[in-house]
Amino acid sequence: MTSAGINRSIASQDEVHQQLERILASREFRLPERARRFLEFVVIETLAGRREYLKAFTVAQAVFGRDAKFDAQQDPCVRIEAGRLRRELEHYYLTDGGADRVIITIPKGGYAPVFEVNPDAELIEMLPVEQPLRSAFSGDDGEQAKAAADEIGEVRRHVSRRHWLLVAGAVIVFAAAVGIFQQVGSPRSDHGAAQGADTRPSIIVERLDASSGGAPATDIARGMTDDIIEKMVRFNEIIVVTAMPRNNGVPSSQPLYALQGSVELEGNRLRSIVRLVRRADAAVIWASNYDVDTKVQGIPEAQASLAGDIATAVARPFGVMFQSDTATIAGSADSFSCILSYYSYRSEMTVQALEVAKHCLQAAVEKAPADSNVAALLSLINLDEFRFSYQLHTKPTAATLGVAKALAQLAVRLDPKNARAHQALMLADFFGNDQAGALDAGAAAYASNPNDTEVVGEYGLRLSMSGEWDRGCGLISEAVGKNAGPRGYYEVGMALCAFMRGDLQAAELWSHMSDLNYNPMHRLVLLSILGALGKKQEAQEQLEWIKSKSPALISNVRPEVVTRLARTEDQERFLAGIEAAGLSMPNDKTPKE
């Protein structure tokens, strides 16, 4: 890189000028005129060899019209505008600029731009798949193909060139079978299962018996059975049936599991006893009982509450059906095997488990391009590489985030009712600094399946970190109360909730209940809590662990906190605890963008 900030053996000044014009002309570059002048000024000055003069003072005079009395410490206009400009450049390269050769960035800590060449810029041009799809079919199928091509084009604009190769592989499979276009062309009603055999585990919900309580209990048993079915069918990773399937009079593949149980009504106490049976050998692999006082809730509410608890325990992520017989199911080359690999990875949170799950999901995308679940989980894998980089030893990049969002958008299009797809989109928007979009997607995920504890917990975390602590913490508490997994993950959310309301003793207790080895950020939360409590020795132990196991986090504490906590007052409270714990933070006057 030369002093002008450009590698002249790869990109010329003309190319940079053309790229600047392309950005300024894009509809996706949404900043006002002053920000545009900011970008134009720093690019031109850098190309002229004057990058060392690009300080807050010179930018303020040239772009903002400030006079010689300008004080950057007192007037943060340049710093604030630079932050907005960085975010908008990132947005541009995730949308219109996805195939651009020259990438312009403004690294944090200064105002001089850097010009880089995307090494994969030519690859996207080698895969002109949209137009062949539009013209490959005629008649009704042609309309379906055009709809699919429009969707693929949208993904193409959001995915980096390196990862576009993966998506393109799936697209080629799309083009091979006309029948798939009939599934992609309109919202799906079958939860996004791939064409052909559905490998998701199946469960038959048998009618609950009324063991005591007479006719009222019989009515409740019938109603609870229907409620359980209605709530379980919202979990996309499983298939729910109510009768043995038949195909032209010949028995079809049988459900793997049966949910059986009974209802007892004695005075005001309503009890349900349920069990999950593996039908191959009639083995009971799980059983539990649930009680509720009908005087407190009323029979309809009590019935719905019990049904929700039962459906959640059996079908939720990390629940009974994801813990039973995984050794026999995992390893087979199908989508559900990959789903099991994903949840196994989330429990282990190791680099090796990540690689196994990601490889499986990537292969599954090619084999089952219309499977909304697979696309959603592959999105979440990419998101984890972005948000858990210190644990997984990955490099969080805008390209990774772009792939995650594109896959989440595809998953939602394949099945608009898939809660996991909306969950993935929520996280992609949240870490892409689109708080409003994240909360909209979270609300859609929660509406799709309020009994999915992972959806409830993640939505609660995003609400809380966006500043809606009361509402968000209520959802996190609900998820923890229903044993949401992975173990110890949402407990750190409870620690943050207690910390923000000023209950430091409860915050410390919840933090110790979390899995501190799951993610170094959990240790950072405990560090801030201990600092606020004045427990210097305990804080020093956590600090030494972070320095030893995740040294890169030490120099990135502030940006990591700012990424996760939307409100300035929440950021400063958290950072104050870090400083009190003994970790020196950059001066508050230092540019934070």
Domains in the chain: boundaries:
13-117, 123-184, 202-324, 347-414+423-446, 452-593
The identity of residue 398, as a single letter, is A
Q: How far apart are CA 478 and CA 239, in angstroms?
A: 25
DSSP assignment string, 431-461: HTT-HHHHHHHHHHHHHH-TT-HHHHHHHHH
Are 486 and 380 contacting, i.e. CB atoms less than 8 angstroms apart?
no
C-beta of residue 390 within 8 angstroms of C-beta of residue 553: yes
Q: What share of the chain is helix, strand, coil (3-state, %, to 5)?
A: 60, 10, 30
**293-301 long-range CB contacts below 8 Å, 24 or more apart?**
293/268, 293/269, 294/265, 294/268, 294/269, 294/270, 295/268, 299/216, 299/220, 299/270
Report residue 245 as tokens.
């399937």
Please state which of the four CATH numbers 3.40.50.720, 3.10.450.50, 1.20.120.1200, 1.25.40.10 is assigned to the domain occupying 452-593. 1.25.40.10
Per-residue pLDDT tens over the stretch 301-359: 888 889 988 998 888 887 777 765 554 444 455 777 888 888 888 888 899 999 999 99
What are the tens digits of pLDDT across the range 239-285? 888 765 555 544 455 788 899 999 998 888 898 999 999 888 888 98
How many Cα atoms sit within 13 Å of 153 on the Cβ side?
12
Q: What is the pLDDT of residues 36-81, one digit of tens each?
A: 889 999 999 999 888 888 988 888 888 888 888 888 777 777 887 8
**Which of these, 469, 413, 468, lies nearest to 436 by C-alpha position?**
468
For residue 363, count CB atoms less than 10 angstroms from its CB and return exposed for 0-12, middle for 13-18, buried for 19 or more: middle
CA distance 103 to 398: 12
pLDDT value for 121: 55
Q: Decide yes or no: CATH 3.40.50.2300 for domain 202-324.
A: no
User: What CA–CA distance (Å, rounded) separates 150 from 156?
Assistant: 10
Q: Mark the ranges of the chain whose per-residue pLDDT is less than 70.
A: 1-11, 119-199, 243-253, 323-333, 586-593
Residue 103's H or E segment, with its range, is strand 102-105
pLDDT score recorded for residue 71? 81
- The pTM (predicted TM-score) of the whole model is 0.61
Which one, of 190, 197, 281, lies nearest residue 240 by Cα? 190
Q: How many residues does the chain have?
A: 593
Q: What is the mean pLDDT of the chain?
A: 80
